[in-house]
């Protein structure tokens, strides 16, 4: 899962980014509204954390512009504690959720998990596909109740496939959701990671769809 963080407070930006990375996400961050707007318009994100008070372009304008352009990714806004009108303006501009500053990082993380799974059509915090279970609260994956040890990149790949199960995902889409913008992306390495994940899962559920990409699907379906 790949997230965009737009926050001009340098310390807060660093803190949130570190917490998101700790929790298994790849993160692009921007410190002003123009750069944030550009990234959100041109890159693929599973969710965005957007501060409202930003230099160059304010958060509400950024969000309105994304929605006008048809970008549908979930957006969580950061608002000031006493500014109820910011929350109203944010929702009206297309926000999906908010946290008011100062906030507990755990709350921000929980709200992001909920937004990401909801956007993929999952109501429960545990996402299953046959014998595979992803516990989004703890970022752990089990097969038949036994935990599967994955590297962070393998986890991101499988977590994305579990959220998007049943759908054929192209290599390009996978690369977009696994790496940050600075990474030298090579979609050929995806096949290697998929091979390793298959071995660790011990199932044949992560299929290669020739010429199209990959599909996670319950066997016998
Ligand atoms: Ca700010």
How confident is the model over 164-182, as pLDDT tens digits?
A: 999 999 999 999 999 988 7
Q: Return the CATH number at 49.
A: 3.40.50.2300
41-85 pLDDT, tens digit per residue, is 999 999 999 999 999 999 999 999 999 999 999 999 999 878 899
End of a domain among 99, 119, 139?
A: 119
Strands 213-216 and 168-169: antiparallel
From ligand 1's centre to the CA of 52, what distance in Å?
A: 6
Does residue 55 share a domain with residue 115? yes
Residue 114 lies in a domain: yes
Q: Which domain holds residue 203?
A: 126-216
Does residue 6 share a domain with residue 115? yes
Contact between 133 and 154 (Cβ < 8 Å)? no
Q: What is the pTM of this model?
A: 0.92
- Domain total of the chain: 2
Does residue 162 share a domain with residue 108? no
Whole-angstrom distance, CA of residue 112 vs CA of residue 118: 10
The neighbouring-strand residues paired with 16 are none
From ligand 1's centre to the CA of 101, what distance in Å?
A: 10
Residue 221 lies in a domain: no
From ligand 1's centre to the CA of 110, what distance in Å?
A: 22
From ligand 1's centre to the CA of 203, what distance in Å?
A: 47
From ligand 1's centre to the CA of 51, what distance in Å?
A: 6
Residue 37 lies in a domain: yes
Does residue 167 share a domain with residue 84? no
């Amino acid at each position: 899962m790949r997230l965009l963080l737009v926050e001009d407070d340098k310390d807060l930006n660093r803190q949130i980014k570190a917490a998101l990375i700790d929790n298994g996400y790849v993160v692009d961050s921007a410190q002003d509204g123009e750069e944030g707007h550009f990234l959100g318009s041109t890159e693929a994100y599973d969710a965005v954390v957007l501060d409202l008070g930003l230099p160059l372009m304010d958060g509400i304008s950024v969000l309105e512009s994304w929605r006008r352009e048809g970008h549908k990714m979930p957006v969580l806004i950061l608002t000031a504690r006493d500014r109820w009108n910011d929350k109203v303006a944010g929702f009206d501009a297309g926000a999906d959720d908010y946290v008011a500053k100062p906030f507990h990082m755990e709350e921000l993380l929980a709200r992001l998990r909920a937004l990401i799974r909801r956007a993929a059509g999952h109501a429960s915090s545990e996402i299953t596909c046959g014998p595979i279970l992803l516990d989004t609260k703890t970022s752990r994956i089990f097969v038949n109740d036994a935990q599967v040890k994955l590297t962070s990149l393998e986890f991101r790949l499988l977590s994305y496939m579990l959220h998007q199960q049943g759908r054929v995902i192209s290599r390009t889409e996978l690369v977009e959701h696994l790496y940050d913008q600075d990474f030298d992306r090579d979609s050929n390495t995806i096949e290697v990671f998929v091979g390793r994940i298959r071995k660790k899962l011990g199932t044949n559920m992560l299929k290669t769809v020739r010429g199209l990409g990959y599909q996670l699907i319950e066997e016998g379906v």
